[in-house]
Amino acid sequence: MTETPLPPSARSTRWTCPFCVLLCDDLSVRENPVGNGFELAAGTCAPAEAGLAQFGTAPSAATPRVDGRPCPLDDAVAAAARALVASRQPLFGGLGTDVAGARALYRLACDTGAICDPADGDALMHGVRALQDRGGFTTTLAEVRNRADLIVCVGGLPFGPRADFFRRCGLGEATVAQRHVVVLGGSANDEAALAALTGRGVTTESVSMQGGDLFSTVALLAAVLADRQVGAVPPQLATLAERLRAARYSVIVAETPRLPEHGALLIETIDRIVATLNLATRSGALWLGGGDGAGTVNQVFTWLSGLPLRSRAGPAGLEHEPLCFDAQRLIDDAAVDSLLWVSCFDAGCVPPPTDLPLIVLGHPGLAAPAGRTGTVFVPVSTPGVGSAGHLFRGDGGAVLPLVPLYRDTLPELADVLVRLTQAVKSLRTEASA
Amino acid sequence: MTRLRLRGGRVVDPTQPADDVRDLCVQDGRIVTIDPREPVDEEIDADGCVVMAGGIDLHTHIGGGKINLARLLMPEDHRTRGNPIALPENPLELASCGGCVPGTLATGYRYVEMGYTAAFEPAMIASNARHAHMEMGDTPILDHGAYVMLGNDELFLQLLAEGGASGRNFETIRDYMGWTIHATKAMGVKVVNPAGISAFKFNQRKLDVDENHVHWQVTPRQVVHTLARALRELGVPHPLHIHGSNLGSAGNIESTLQTIQALEGLPGHLTHIQFHAYGVEGPKKFSSAARQLAEAVNANPNISIDVGQIMFGQTVTASGDTMRQHAQSGLANPRKWIGGDIECEAGCGVVPFKYREQSYVNALQWVIGLEIFLLVDDPWRVVLTTDHPNGGPFTSYPHLIRLLMDRSFREEQLAKLHPDVATNCALRSITRELTLREIAIMTRAAPARLLGLVDRGHLAPGAAADIAVYREQADREAMFTTPEHVFKDGTLVARAGRITAVPVGGTHFVEPDYDRAIEKTLRAHLAAHGSVNFDHIAIGHDDLCRCCNGGRLLPAACFEGAT
């Protein structure tokens, strides 16, 4: 393992934020005035602030636990291995980790035949299923910054009013002289935030949904753009269609976790809109999702196995079931008999309520949800806070290195998983001897 | 200090004067000379076998964003007749599946089982470089490397445009190229549809070699020449890797010949050239220009090619050429495709495709690829590829080898094609059958030489002990499908089609010298136009190690540049 140089504690340091999919890497972090935590040295960003608030300035002294009682790491690993070996169908959930964690997790998933589904797997599957059915045409942050003269936010402003999204899009910069930002189906808060974006070459507009339904609104827009006969079109939507046709480079953006149930259908329709526009002008979709490591783990599992998440190396072979391998459904149906939960970035990402044997590997703050009998808890380091790591940005292309804010005493997830995988193998060997 | 002797095989090493039957010895991962009377730790009977260096694929899309998109697009490729693909019985293998776009694990296993020991990803996007290295690091056993894409990034085009006809900005461009290679840990540079990917972002739909990019007002000719010259001056061994203009279009032979002219004698490697060798003759205005192409290659010793042979069946094409992939997306089979504009530097287009024997165009594409293989005189400038997965999966190489070595087999296959093609093509009259030595050149020795890998692709003393031992068989497809033994750096990694060890492969890259002052320009450019902090772009050696799963770093030497 290579040593990563650590910042002197008193000054602010450049930092890459692992707490949302934009992975802003131009932030500075410093100790807060009280000295008990970190804060942004400049600017505000709700996800970054909430993420940092989960950490002190020094490594956590949390210890592993079995059945809620502190124990050495070896004992916790041994207990977790026993639970996995005893399980006929494990479920790996949460999946909040980085590339190194995902690589190690895949080996354990292969060895145990576990089904793997990230927290909020439905949101990830919106994009995966639309891609499998139709494909799509996407763009990335630098393209948006340099080209987009029309940005249409579907279902609300990405990351809410206090996030850094529009700064990352270059709004108000001279790269694009005049931009128009539209929110389609936004909230009252979004409309207020839009007003704040206006000026410096930026105009804004809020377009309401047809009958309060995003699906029919987007479908109608697609039909108008495809020159289908659709009867009377609400003026706002007709104007939006004209703007899309006239734009040199339009971007349609949505935060996939905020899309409603059956969001894959929305993505599919928007992909169709983008395809129609690309016949005559230029357009791209920007799907922002896969936060807390879910998108990263999906990338890693896809390249290793050939299949995305909601898959398992089961008795029949490698299976991918984007509907049936929904973690909550599996738990509700008693189709799994153990749960291994990973959440390195978010102490609030707790495992679903269950009486199943439970192994939690994650942020020290997850000790409480893993405190009952039949649980193993191993606190692990958070990439980008206590250790180095790599995450995929939400637009899919860029992988950014994460640098730690302090040198952790907690182990990295990958190290724990390697030990756990070895322990599982040893138990199996003993059992067959 | 383990010593191994492969006894009595026919050693086919095109760098040696003759393919003698002799012993080949290995010590500490290298080929050595050991007196036949001296004892060794292990002796393997290679009587009746052909011994070659491990295969090297210099153009195969094995890692990075677009190939992972292809996997996501094609879950149906990852089943067999509707059933899940069975888990490996071999405990050394982890579960991994896929036909035309397998997972990285399966990619490594299947390559090695065929006797290949190195593979190079040809289309690494700078902003996606870590991802590409990660996938290659998770491709077991194979050594690997990648060519970084330039020539569609807005900074390059801007520098070229602002430098004017006199090439005022050439040195800046050269240093920018040097920095990009350094930052992404690349083995070479590739240009894809020169200026065309960018032009598509400005809504341009076609770009000929002497046509201006609608915004930057530079031509593909200028782009190709500038990149080739810069690469030459940086001393990078691998010539500019060129995916030319107008891929897949009838009549694109003109663009290809113009691209060769644009190089003005500078080294250039024209990749998947089959897709760029089409004429406009005949009733369907689509014809083979293989002969014209071969004549040009034969006449220009600065040119090397790989073929990008198509194979019939399902595949998925994955390319950086957004402009051309968008244009051809209507042919997608199944009907779905992925495109993307990427970070003001590149793009991607992933289009599933089914090549059919009874399709006139597909049949002709198949013919054109074979004609090129057989009409170019110098095998040292031809590399055997299918442009995996674009022309077909790499697992079809043994079949391709048989087509090239066995005329009667070739004619049997030809007879199955669209009758107009089968009856009229020039391939029918080509009698050439490639020899084992020529196959060894096209699959090992030539790619190693074109990449500047001095200790790979041959079996002279001092070379790395990457070795494939094939049982001599008249059926060359069977012979090249399952070598008896495959060694990687002296370790037995496959025995009769079964993986026996899974070391992590090494990463080849070059580290050209360049003027570090360029970083100031790049820092300013990225601050104004980028989406990543300049300080986070360059991949250091430690970071590369983490990305590549801890494999060895294998920096290749540059030659003395012209500067």
Cis peptide before B389 (omega within 30 of 0): yes
How far apart CA B127 and CA B146 sit, in angstroms, is 13
What value does the mean pLDDT take over residues B95-119?
96
Nearest neighbour of A132 by CB, restricted to B75, B138, B542: B75
- pLDDT 10s digits, A364-415: 999 999 999 999 999 999 999 999 999 999 998 899 999 999 999 999 999 9
Burial A355-375 (b: 16+ CB within 10 A, else e): ebbbbbbbbbbbbebbeeebb
Contacts of A281 in chain B (CB under 8 A): 203
Look up the pTM and report it: 0.97
Helix runs in B124-251, H state only: 129-137, 154-163, 170-184, 196-201, 220-234
CA distance A317 to chain B (A): 4
Residue B188 three-state SS: strand
Nearest neighbour of B127 by CB, restricted to A282, A303, A397: A397
Strands B553-556 and B507-510: parallel
Is residue A6 pLDDT above 80, yes or no? no
- Is B127 an 8 Å CB contact of chain A? yes
Residues 6+ apart with CB under 8 A from B62: B104, B107, B119, B121, B135, B136, B139, B144, B388
Residue B563 three-state SS: coil
Nearest neighbour of A304 by CB, restricted to B96, B130, B326: B96
- pLDDT recorded at residue A242: 98
How far apart CA A97 and CA A105 sit, in angstroms, is 9
Contacts of B85 in chain A (CB under 8 A): 317-318
- pLDDT 10s digits, B218-277: 999 999 999 999 999 999 999 999 999 999 999 999 999 999 999 999 999 999 999 999
- pLDDT 10s digits, A26-42: 999 999 999 999 999 98
Is residue A2 pLDDT above 70, yes or no? no
CA distance A371 to chain B (A): 34
- pLDDT 10s digits, A49-96: 999 999 999 999 999 999 999 999 999 999 999 999 999 999 999 999
Residue B492, classified by CB atoms within 10 Å of its CB into exposed (0-12), middle (13-18) or buried (19+), is: middle
pLDDT bin (cut points 50, 70, 90) of residue A11 is: low
Residue B306 three-state SS: strand
The answer to whether the Cβ–Cβ distance between A141 and B84 falls below 8 Å is no
Is residue A4 pLDDT above 60, yes or no? no
Q: Output DSSP code: residue A22.
A: T
User: What's the mean per-residue pLDDT of chain A?
Assistant: 94
Q: Is ipTM strictly over 0.95?
A: yes
pLDDT bin (cut points 50, 70, 90) of residue B78 is: confident
Q: Residue B482: enclosing H or E segment and its boundaries?
A: none
CA distance A185 to chain B (A): 26
Contacts of A296 in chain B (CB under 8 A): none
DSSP string, A61-99: ----EETTEE--HHHHHHHHHHHHHH-SSEEEEEEE--H
Residue A321, amino acid? E
Residue B340 three-state SS: strand
The answer to whether the Cβ–Cβ distance between B343 and A25 falls below 8 Å is no
Contacts of B345 in chain A (CB under 8 A): 142
Residue A220, amino acid? L
Place of tokens 């940092």: A52
DSSP string, A101-139: HHHHHHHHHHHHT-EEEETTHHHHHHHHHHHHHTEEEE-
Return the C-alpha torsion angle A308, A312, A314, A320, nearest 10: -40
Contacts of A248 in chain B (CB under 8 A): 203
Contacts of B98 in chain A (CB under 8 A): 306
- pLDDT recorded at residue B165: 85
- pLDDT 10s digits, A169-212: 999 999 999 999 999 999 999 988 998 899 989 999 999 998 99
Interface test with A, best of B68, B109, B202, B341 (most A CBs within 10 A): B341
DSSP string, B75-100: GGGGEETTEEBPPPSSTTSPP---SS
Higher pLDDT, A94 or B562: A94
How far apart CA A366 and CA A346 sit, in angstroms, is 9
End-to-end CA distance of chain A: 35
How far apart CA B266 and CA B249 sit, in angstroms, is 26
CA distance A287 to chain B (A): 12
Distances (CA, A) of B518 to A286, A417, B172, B532: 32, 43, 7, 17
Closest CA to B256 of B273, B237, B234, B239: B273
The tokens describing A410, both together, are 């907690």
Closest CA to B349 of A275, A289, A400, A270: A275
Cis peptide before B334 (omega within 30 of 0): yes
How far apart CA B104 and CA B140 sit, in angstroms, is 8
CA distance B40 to chain A (A): 35
Q: Is B453 in contact with B56 (CB distance < 8 Å)?
A: yes
Residue B272, classified by CB atoms within 10 Å of its CB into exposed (0-12), middle (13-18) or buried (19+), is: buried
User: What's the mean per-residue pLDDT of chain B?
Assistant: 97
Distances (CA, A) of A225 to A240, A276, A280: 10, 7, 11
pLDDT bin (cut points 50, 70, 90) of residue B561 is: low
Closest CA to A222 of A199, A200, A203, A240: A240
Q: Across A307-397, where does the E strand assignment appear?
A: 311-314, 317-320, 338-343, 358-362, 375-379, 389-392
The answer to whether the Cβ–Cβ distance between A99 and B106 falls below 8 Å is no
Helix axes B65-73, A294-305, angle to 10 degrees: 80
Report the residue of chain A nearest B76, measured CA to CA: A132
The answer to whether the Cβ–Cβ distance between A131 and B343 falls below 8 Å is no
- pLDDT 10s digits, B122-140: 999 999 999 999 999 999 9
- Is B528 an 8 Å CB contact of chain A? yes
CA distance A144 to chain B (A): 9
Place of tokens 């030459």: B232
Give me the total of CB pairs closer than 8 Å, taking one residue from chain A and one from chain B.
Answer: 192
- Is B104 an 8 Å CB contact of chain A? yes
Contacts of B532 in chain A (CB under 8 A): 25, 398, 400
